[in-house]
Amino acid sequence: MQNRYILEISVETLEAAMAAERGGASRIEFCGNLREGGTTPSTELMRAVRGRVGVPVFSMVRPRGGDFFYSEAEFEIMRRDLDLAKKLRMDGVVLGLLDADGHVDIARTKELVDRARPLPVTFHRAFDECIDLRRGVEDVIQTGAARLLTSGGKRTAPEALEVLEELVRIAGEHLIVMPGSGLHARNIREAVAKTGAAEFHAGLSSVVADAAGNIGAFELEVGRMVEALRHGG
């Protein structure tokens, strides 16, 4: 039976990307520095992952850790990193910008979304720092982004299932809302039932503390999550 849900797995090494694919992940979010929430990965790693992984790979475009209010110099770095991701044949990019008031930076995000075409853009968890999540969904829709990764404004998605259901409903057909953070095989079916989402994101750090050092356990947990999703509808 084909799984009607999409599972995106966040990784920062080639080995973890390959393990996620073997485990059945639908898509890879490829990052550097996951401990900082993810930054743009190196050219060498993007090229290596593109050569070894068959499922779609979305590359993070983020110049640094910390907040999501970027200087013009940092924004220029994001433009160049986005161009590089396209050149290296990534299947999509992941980014997010806020303004000084804590709202989605619609204008600069839209510029990057347009620059990324035909690649789809995921607006990442910068969204969870918006001062108004409901307005934030409408703002992300205006940018032209294809999907939104969010934990519903909480530290983890399981803490915000009702909020996530509301965000999915507000987005409707205009934007894919993808719950992420703190999801694993033991709680994903509840997230499916309560949010109405069709795509989910996980890094599995709460289950496998060091994916790079526990590739077998990481791959197994991805497989368990895929199986739970297969029977979660």
The CB density around residue 47, as the number of other CB atoms within 10 Å, is 14
pTM attached to this predicted model:
0.94
pLDDT of residue 232: 65
> Is omega for the bond preceding 118 within 30 degrees of 0, making it cis?
yes
List, in order of start, the domains of the chain with CATH numbers. 6-230 (3.20.20.380)
pLDDT of residue 129: 96
- Cβ pair 55, 36 in contact under 8 A: no
Residue 25 and residue 211: Cα distance in Å, rounded?
Answer: 15
Q: Name the token pair of 150.
A: 């969010």
Residue 75 and residue 72: Cα distance in Å, rounded?
Answer: 5
Strand order through the sheet with 92-95: 176-179, 147-150, 121-123, 92-95, 57-60, 27-30, 6-11, 199-202
Task: Find the helix or strand (DSSP H, E) in which 92 lies.
Answer: strand 92-95
Mean of the per-residue pLDDT values of the chain: 94
Residue ranges of the chain with pLDDT lower than 70? Answer: 1-3, 208-213, 232-233
Residue 131 has φ and ψ, to the nearest 5°, of -80, -15
Residue pointed to by tokens 């709202």: 103
- Dihedral angle over CA of 27, 182, 148, 98, nearest 10: -130
Residue 11 and residue 23: Cα distance in Å, rounded?
Answer: 13
The CB density around residue 213, as the number of other CB atoms within 10 Å, is 10
pLDDT of residue 212: 60
pLDDT of residue 208: 67
DSSP 183-208: --TTTHHHHHHHH--SEEEE--TTTS
Closest to 61 (Cα-Cα) out of 12, 18, 94, 19: 94
What pLDDT, in 10s, does the model give residues 173-227?
Answer: 999 999 999 999 999 999 999 999 999 999 988 776 565 668 899 999 999 999 9
